[in-house]
């Protein structure tokens, strides 16, 4: 599945303007947070931990206008703890995000 990052890119542009260093820093902060939260989802085995990580991921995605990640996080919120399908989709999203030099 190919993801579009146009809303995320527009959010970075609005926040950082032409400052490439700030743009890189914001993207890095987003990526670090998303990576940690997806890792937590992958390790969560109880409803409370799963829901907390999914909610935080949803909030992170919303704050950066990352609409594709937001949809995946909402799906995770409704899924059973440890649901491998959604964790795989989230990891694929991250891999594609990291590989996209345009952002």
pTM for the full predicted model: 0.86
Instruction: Average the pLDDT over 63-85 and give the result.
Output: 94
Give the model confidence (pLDDT) of 17-38 as tens digits: 888 899 889 989 999 999 999 9
Query: Mean pLDDT across the chain, nearest whole number?
Result: 90
Is residue 14, in this structure, part of any structural domain at all? Answer: no
Residue 61, domain extent: 34-103
Indicate if the pLDDT at residue 4 is higher than 60. Answer: no
Please tell me the distance from the alpha carbon of residue 56 to that of residue 41, in angstroms, as a whole number.
Answer: 10
User: For residue 5, what are the contacts with CB-CB under 8 A and spacing of at least 6?
Assistant: 66, 68, 97, 100, 102, 103
Angle at 37 between CA 36 and CA 40, to 5 degrees: 90
- Cβ distance 45 to 54 under 8 Å? no
The tally of domains found in the chain comes to: 1
**64 part of a folded domain:** yes
Between CA 88 and CA 86 the distance in angstroms is 5
Domain presence at residue 6:
no
Is 26 domain-assigned? no
pLDDT value, residue 48: 96
Asked if pLDDT for residue 103 goes beyond 80, the answer is no
pLDDT class of 89 with cuts at 50, 70, 90 = very high
């Amino acid at each position: 599945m190919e993801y579009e990052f146009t809303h995320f890119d527009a959010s970075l542009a609005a926040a950082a303007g032409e400052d490439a260093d700030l743009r890189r820093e914001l993207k890095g902060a987003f990526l670090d947070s998303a990576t940690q939260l997806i890792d937590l989802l992958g390790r969560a085995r109880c409803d409370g931990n799963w829901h907390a990580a999914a909610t935080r991921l949803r909030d992170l995605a919303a704050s950066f206008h990352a609409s594709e990640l937001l949809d995946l996080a909402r799906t995770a919120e409704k899924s059973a703890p440890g649901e491998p399908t959604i964790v795989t989709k989230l990891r694929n999203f991250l891999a594609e995000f990291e590989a996209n030099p345009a952002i």
